[in-house]
Amino acid sequence: MSKEITSRTQDYSQWYNDLVIKGELADYSAVRGCMVIKPYGFALWENMRDQLDKMFKETGHQNAYFPLFIPKSFLSKEAAHVEGFAKECAVVTHYRLKNDPNGGGIIVDPEAKLEEELIVRPTSETIIWNTYKTWIQSYRDLPLLINQWANVVRWEMRTRLFLRTAEFLWQEGHTAHATSQEAVDETRQMLDIYAEFAENWMALPVIKGVKTESERFAGAVDTYCIEALMQDGKALQAGTSHFLGQNFAKAFDVTFSDKTNKLDYVWATSWGVSTRLVGALVMAHGDDEGLIMPPKIAPLQVVIVPIYKGDEQKAKIDEKVVSLVKQLKTAGIRVKYDDTDNARPGWKFAEYEKKGVPVRIAIGARDLENNTVEIARRDTREKSSVPMDGLAERLEQLLVTIQQDMYNKALSFREQHISKADSWEQFQQILNEKGGFILAHWDGTAETETKIKELTKATIRCIPLNNELEQGNCVLTGKPSSQRVLFAMAY
């Protein structure tokens, strides 16, 4: 047991922070609510980003880059949109500093006040749709399938590393279409891509669904989402894909002429995932020893630690490992040989456990004699002695197995934590005692949704896609309902 890391049962929230900080994913910064993403954390994000980027490009999307700043008046053009973001905006009001003539040091130059304030983008629909206005005239310009990797700022009052930070990194797709159906299809396609990424790359099972009206993105007609379950039984929204209808096209007057020369407003989608996914990964897979990285996106998949006494043994191990590393790299395995002499093997073992490296290999003098190595799996902590011959193939298979096992474990946990509640008592009891997702009937009103939230802090995470229709009665009001929706406490 790592003494540095608080256990989950002791303090789940502190455990999470310990994993992020001591696993060297991120650090607090001097700027309120902003974090520093450390090299190990950033390498993880790069692997996630590169895979998502590949999936976006394979489905015909191109990257572009739009300004960081949004004129205040733009934000106001879509009524629901500004309502949703006005309360958490970083506002640029001046463009120059100067020396205080009264000796007060460096001050904001009052003469350098902007005519119109600029908002640091909380999301880019407005600046992008203002641009699309000049790019789109005819149906031949559609669909326009654009994605942007960017930083955004939302001045949240309560922040958590990765889960909720004032500045975060994300991608935001913004597409334009000639028909409503095509835009809906795009919205659903991107939701599927997010789900595929979460499940196949992050080993994180998710439930696809659609948000209720009150949980919708500010300016959307429909918000689709993927919802994951964390080990404390709370849900985490891992990605959203919005069908925006013609709302932004109308706000920014973006029309196109169709094949018959008829003018119509353009149909829109937007969709995004962020560095929040790193937080999801930490909470879904970590244990009391530290992080556990899914092999497919692990910055480092295999670490090799030598165990030796004296320079002579070390030299022999080095010689063997150099050729092993070469073999593993040729097989495409991300491997590191840690032969630094400033720490004992046991200390290194704990370090790489904290960082969640999927496989650790130890090689000592006896291993050299026997032509074996010791392999330790991070996820199960199982150890075994295996022959050096054919190690690359064995590891390739093992990494696939670990990836699958991690997914299965998370899926099994999730399946054990989806309950049905058919009465208000049962609903409260499950929430308080077991946690997790609750499938329950709801009368479909925002009023009841709010009431349930006030009473229990649980929210409707989504109406699952392909939901079975089933007659029942609202768990709170008893009014008739035709399907169960998914409730949970959430991050």
Query: What is the per-residue binding string for its own copies in 60-89, x denoting contact by CB under 8 A?
Result: --xxxxxxxxxxx-xxx-----x---xxxx
Shortest distance in whole angstroms from residue 357 CB to its own copies: 16
CB neighbours of 224 closer than 8 A, spacing ≥ 6? 187, 188, 191, 208, 209, 210, 211, 240, 241, 242, 243, 465
Shortest distance in whole angstroms from residue 18 CB to its own copies: 17
Q: Which of 19, 120, 244, 328 binds its own copies (CB under 8 A)?
A: 120
Q: Helix 180-200 and helix 39-58: axis angle, to 10°?
A: 140
- Comparison of 275 and 481: residue with beta carbon closer to its own copies: 275
Shortest distance in whole angstroms from residue 133 CB to its own copies: 10
* Amino acid (one-letter) located at 59: T
Nearest Cα residue to 207 out of 461, 481, 422? 461
Residue with tokens 């909720």: 164
Is residue 12 close enough to count as binding its own copies by CB under 8 A?
no
Nearest Cα residue to 27 out of 36, 14, 19, 18? 36
240 vs 236: CA distance, rounded Å:
11
- Comparison of 329 and 451: residue with beta carbon closer to its own copies: 329
Is residue 31 close enough to count as binding its own copies by CB under 8 A?
yes
Is residue 30 close enough to count as binding its own copies by CB under 8 A?
yes
Q: Helix 391-416 and helix 310-330: axis angle, to 10°?
A: 70
Is residue 323 close enough to count as binding its own copies by CB under 8 A?
no
Residue with tokens 């256990």: 7
Is residue 21 close enough to count as binding its own copies by CB under 8 A?
no
Shortest distance in whole angstroms from residue 425 CB to its own copies: 41
Q: Please give the DSSP secondary-structure letter assigned to residue 204.
A: -
Q: Which of 54, 140, 366, 434 binds its own copies (CB under 8 A)?
A: 140
Q: Which of 118, 277, 430, 462 binds its own copies (CB under 8 A)?
A: 118
Is residue 54 close enough to count as binding its own copies by CB under 8 A?
no
What are the beta bridge partners of residue 153? Answer: 167
Could you list the beta-strand ranges (E) of 246-338. Answer: 255-257, 263-265, 267-274, 302-306, 335-337
Only segment of 5-13, 26-34, 260-268, 444-452 that touches its own copies (CB under 8 A): 26-34
Question: Other CB atoms closer than 10 Å to residue 281's CB: what's the count?
Answer: 27
Only segment of 33-41, 281-289, 440-448, 463-471 that touches its own copies (CB under 8 A): 33-41
The dihedral over CA atoms of 116, 120, 124, 129, expressed in degrees to the nearest 10, equals 10
Q: For 356, list phi and psi in degrees, rounded to 5.
A: 75, 25
- Comparison of 89 and 361: residue with beta carbon closer to its own copies: 89
Shortest distance in whole angstroms from residue 75 CB to its own copies: 7
Residue with tokens 């994951």: 228
Q: Which of 21, 55, 80, 169 binds its own copies (CB under 8 A)?
A: 169
List of residues contacting its own copies (CB under 8 A): 27, 29-31, 34-39, 42-43, 45-46, 62-72, 74-76, 82, 86-99, 105-106, 108, 117-120, 127, 130-131, 134, 140, 146, 150-151, 153, 155, 167, 169, 342
